[in-house]
Amino acid sequence: MGNRRITILCSGFGLGFYIPGLLVAQGFRQRGIDTEVLVFESYMEQEKIDHIPDSRAAYHRDFALANLSARLPMDIRKSIDDARVEQLLDGWEAEDRREFISLSGHWVYILDRYRERMQPRPVHADLLYVDSDLAPSWKSLKRYHPRYNEPYYDACLYDRDKLDIRCEVSVPAVSRRPFAEREARLVVHGGGWGMGTYRETIPTLAESGYALDIIAYPDSQSPLDPRHRYLMNATDWCAWVKDAEGRHGFPPLWELTDGETIRHAPREDRHWMIDIAGSAQAIVAKPGAGTLIDSLATATPIILLEPFGSHEQRNAELWEHLGYGMRYERWRESGYASEALETMHRALQSRATEGMDYVDRYCDRVHVDPALRIS
């Protein structure tokens, strides 16, 4: 493919608009196509960046507050650092960047500025929607910029009207382990920012006969139960801070024990959590974008907790409709039946995957001419 380069535009809000972008980038690299991953928060005013940890902690403590925030439109243009963005656009223009994939609505304002700079030279951008309905960044964008998508291509993983999967972010490095080979374990988490009702389920799940892989967060203070594993993304890692090689990568994993913290270095091709999900019988979590991708890639069903925002509500409806997930309350009424988990696993395992890979479809759809190559 020559010196073609695709710029993947992510966001560090949670991990559902970040990890999928890294997986997409990995898919292109496996096909010999160069990529660069960028994170929106890197181009915000420093004062706004400094407040993100406070918001994350507040949403972790108070899920009602998080859900309220998801309903309030926000004009992100007030947070953009224009000097940093101009420097970024200068670099893009110098390299003649022409291909972009954005996982967050926040980037569209920046893409618009770049497209204006480049006219009449063509710029292609996929707007990659990783939820089955518009997430808050896209809803806010639509409120202030109703025709935002007209110059771009809407790339939807899911069909919200037909309740079906259009394409998926594949993770070839992981296999779909048969149910009989999985331990009687559940992965319990609250997404990248630890939001939701997952903590309330832990005491009951701990008595249900399953061992738990509990994703902990920095403020976790509960004593460690020896029946379970406690895992955490490294607290000194940040999505919008590049690593020593100047790249945005997957987070390192910490395993917490009474005696020590076992530190696992980040992987190059996938996130640690997907392997943990692939060895469990189910994921107990809110239906965020990253959790859906983990579920599909590993054929692991989701026990659906209360969603964050209307977009995750639609995700839950989709997974229930397809037979890939079940609401926590229904599973509890079944007596936490393993048979229900196996039925959903089989549905995931038997689904058609041929021709469903997003990166393959992108390569088939976006044909590169010499004008789109980096000199």
Domain residue spans in the chain? 6-170+355-367, 179-350
The residues that bridge with 35 in the sheet, in sequence order, are: 6
pLDDT tens sequence for the chain (375 residues) = 347 899 999 999 889 999 999 999 999 999 999 999 999 999 999 999 888 888 777 777 777 877 777 777 889 999 999 999 999 999 999 999 999 999 999 999 999 999 999 999 999 999 999 999 999 999 999 999 999 999 999 999 999 999 999 999 999 889 899 999 999 999 999 887 788 888 899 999 999 999 999 988 776 666 788 888 999 899 899 999 999 899 999 999 999 888 788 999 999 899 999 999 999 999 999 999 999 999 999 999 999 999 998 999 999 999 999 999 999 999 999 999 999 999 999 999 999 888 899 999 999 999 865 444 433
Q: Is 339 helix (H, G, I), strand (E, B) or coil?
A: helix
Residue whose entry in the numeric block shows the structure tokens 């993100």: 52
Whether the domain at 6-170+355-367 and the domain at 179-350 fall into the same CATH topology: yes
| Cα–Cα distance for residue pair 260/329, rounded to 1 Å | 36
| CATH superfamily of the domain spanning 179-350 | Glycogen Phosphorylase B; (3.40.50.2000)
Peptide bond into 146 cis (omega under 30): no
Choose among 100, 138, 144, 133: nearest CA to 8. Answer: 100
| E strand segments, the chain | 5-10, 34-39, 99-102, 124-129, 153-156, 158-159, 164-165, 185-188, 211-215, 229-233, 253-256, 261-264, 282-285, 302-304, 325-327
Contacts (Cβ under 8 Å, ≥6 apart) of 334: 340
pLDDT at 370: 46
What fold is seen in the domain 6-170+355-367? Rossmann fold (3.40.50)
